[in-house]
Amino acid sequence: MSSMVIEALGRDPSQIALWDQYVSSHAAGTVYHLSAWRTIFEESFGYRSWLLMARHAQNAGIAGVLPLYLVASPFSRRLVSVPFRDRGGPLWDTAEAFHALVARAREIAARAGAITVRLKTVHPYPSELVSASSLHDHFHWVHSVVDLRGVTADAFWRDIGDKNRNMIRQAERHGLAFESLVIDEPRVRQWHRLHLATQKRLGLPPFPAKFFRVMSAELAKLDAIAMFGVRRGEKLEAAAIVLVHGKTAIYGYSASSGEGQNHRANDLMMCNMMRWAIEKQYDRFDLGSDSPAQDSLLFFKRKWLAAQAPVPIYTTGAGDRPVVDSSDRKYAFARKAFALLPAGVLNAGSFITRYFG
């Protein structure tokens, strides 16, 4: 019989503090494991959540955690950790804690009518744990990360090469300037307008403005978020939201105008964000995970010295496929349709994003 007790995190501030302390002290803990995402997803998308904690029956200390969110669409229900992102699966100290968390996730899925559980990570789990828990691994997304350990600003500028340096100079000749942005309500509204324009250009549903408002407010309390922009005069041509935790900075969200793209605003922004991360002495600048079909985006990340590798999603249960890749050719018509919608209509329809978490 297992000596592990599994309980869901309540609303007691002291318990929430213990959760976040455990996440911050765990070697595999990430910004997406923090309890703040419960508030972010509840208020933005109405997701029901279970933040599971594993404890030894004879010991009150936490031995593992697993955040889970119920994503329901008109066609399926699934438990996900964490919606929309490429990580957030279980953290554990012992194999017993891992197995107990996965077993409880299965129980919750059955009670909630979820057909599958999806556990996300950028680091593969030990094969013996995967096998013993009867998890299925699916490798699809390509993760990009820049190792900044021991890197200086001068070495970075040298290593990006002549072509990238010329692109930065080109952006500056067009009058573009990089800056750190204060995150407040007007700035978040400005960010969301740029996000809408970007999603329309890509033919993708946007996140609602409330998601960025709540995320900015909650993560700012933890000093876990930064925003950067590239201006041409008074106009914001590109912007990015960077999430920070421990020694990792994550390139979380990016947006740009068509004119900004043509004038190399994204190159100028990326170069200066990397310099910022080096100055702040982060070990990693994490560029997230993308579809293997997004050749140009993956190339963009490689040219900033990113190493790339496929990352797994682990699933248990039946039902829909673990990967819905909007870059797949079968979604080409839908993307064209989204691209034709007026920005106001696209914004009004942003509620459908909740189905894709």
Q: What is the pLDDT of residues 231-245, one digit of tens each?
A: 999 999 999 999 999
Preceding omega of 5 cis (within 30 degrees of 0):
no
Q: Is 278 left (phi over 0), alpha (psi -120 to 50) or beta?
A: alpha
Length in residues, the chain: 357
* Closest to 136 in 3D by CA, of 317, 323, 356: 317
Beta strands in 197-277 (DSSP E): 225-232, 235-245, 248-256
Angle formed by the axes of helices 332-340 and 185-202, to 10°? 130
Give the pLDDT band of residue 319 (cuts 50, 70, 90). Answer: low
Q: Quote the pLDDT of residue 2.
A: 64
* Residue in this structure with the two tokens 């680091």, named with its chain if needed: 123
Beta strands in 159-294 (DSSP E): 176-181, 225-232, 235-245, 248-256, 284-290
Show the tokens assigned to 51. 């933040």
Q: Quote the pLDDT of residue 219.
A: 98
Residue 78 near residue 68, CB atoms below 8 Å: no
* Residue in this structure with the two tokens 């994204």, named with its chain if needed: 266
DSSP 72: E
Instruction: List residues bridging with 248 in a β-sheet.
Output: 245, 284
Q: Is the pLDDT reported for residue 324 higher than 80?
A: no
Q: Quote the pLDDT of residue 56.
A: 87
Q: Quote the pLDDT of residue 329.
A: 74
Mean pLDDT of 7-35: 97
Q: Quote the pLDDT of residue 344.
A: 80
* Residue in this structure with the two tokens 């999806």, named with its chain if needed: 118
Kindly list the structural domains of the chain, giving each domain's residue range(s) and its CATH number in brackets, ordered by start: 4-142+314-322 (3.40.630.30), 150-282+337-356 (3.40.630.30)
Q: Please state, rounded to an integer, the average pLDDT across all residues of the chain.
A: 93
CA 174-252-217 angle, 5° bins: 105
Residue 204 near residue 356, CB atoms below 8 Å: no
Give the pLDDT band of residue 322 (cuts 50, 70, 90). Answer: low
Beta strands in 57-207 (DSSP E): 62-72, 77-81, 91-92, 116-120, 136-147, 176-181
Residue 238 near residue 256, CB atoms below 8 Å: yes
Give the pLDDT band of residue 321 (cuts 50, 70, 90). Answer: low
How many helices (H) and strands (E) in the chain? 13, 13
What is the distance between the alpha carbons of residues 263 and 253, in angstroms, rounded to a whole number?
A: 20
What is the distance between the alpha carbons of residues 278 and 155, in angstroms, rounded to a whole number?
A: 10
CA 121-124-125 angle, 5° bins: 100
What is the distance between the alpha carbons of residues 119 and 86, in angstroms, rounded to a whole number?
A: 9
What is the distance between the alpha carbons of residues 102 and 118, in angstroms, rounded to a whole number?
A: 10
Instruction: List residues bridging with 254 in a β-sheet.
Output: 240
Would you give the distance in Å from CA 332 to the centre of its chain? 24
Which helix (H) or strand (E) segment holds residue 8: the answer is strand 4-8
Give the pLDDT band of residue 342 (cuts 50, 70, 90). Answer: confident
CA quadruple 296, 299, 301, 307: dihedral sign = positive
Instruction: Provide long-range contacts, Cβ within 8 A and 24+ apart, for 232-235.
Output: 232/174, 232/175, 232/176, 232/177, 232/259, 232/260, 232/263, 232/265, 233/175
Q: Is the pLDDT reported for residue 261 higher than 70?
A: yes
Q: Quote the pLDDT of residue 45.
A: 96
Q: Quote the pLDDT of residue 356.
A: 86
Q: List all residues 6 or more positions away from 287 whose beta carbon is below 8 Å from its beta carbon.
A: 144, 145, 146, 251, 301, 304, 306
Which helix (H) or strand (E) segment holds residue 54: the answer is strand 48-56
